[in-house]
Amino acid sequence: MISYRLQGFPKSLRILSKKDFENLRKDSSKVIRYPIVCFFKPTISEHGVSRIAFSISKKIGKANLRNRYKRLLRESFRKDELALSKKFDFLLVVSRRPESEQKLTQAYREIINSL
């Protein structure tokens, strides 16, 4: 398995195309842990690794707060060997403001452990 710990967050771990987003939203399983809704399905990546995308509602707050939540979730995913080994595509949707950043990362861990 490729270790991405020292290499940052490469594009191979991101879902970038609109087609992949739409496919993931409509034909996937869903897990809900407040404040995150996770859509997931087996990856269609040619690299065969887990990929992730984020959607954070503008109801959450200003851009700097939304970007902070994305950074926290991205870093949690990057460090999580379990998530990287599952070979799923994930779409994490945050539509409600979490009580704290710890609640957000805890919800992420609960989702990954439940799969």
Beta strands per DSSP E along 1-115: 29-33, 36-42, 51-56, 88-94
Confidence of residue 5 (pLDDT cuts 50, 70, 90): low
> Is residue 21 a contact partner of residue 89, using CB atoms and an 8 Å limit?
no
Condensed to tens digits (0 to 9), the pLDDT of residues 54-104 reads 999 999 999 999 999 999 999 999 888 888 888 999 999 998 999 999 999
pTM here?
A: 0.88
Structure confidence at residue 91 (pLDDT)? 95
Structure confidence at residue 40 (pLDDT)? 95
Distance CA 46, CA 62 (A): 35
CATH of domain 11-114: 3.30.230.10
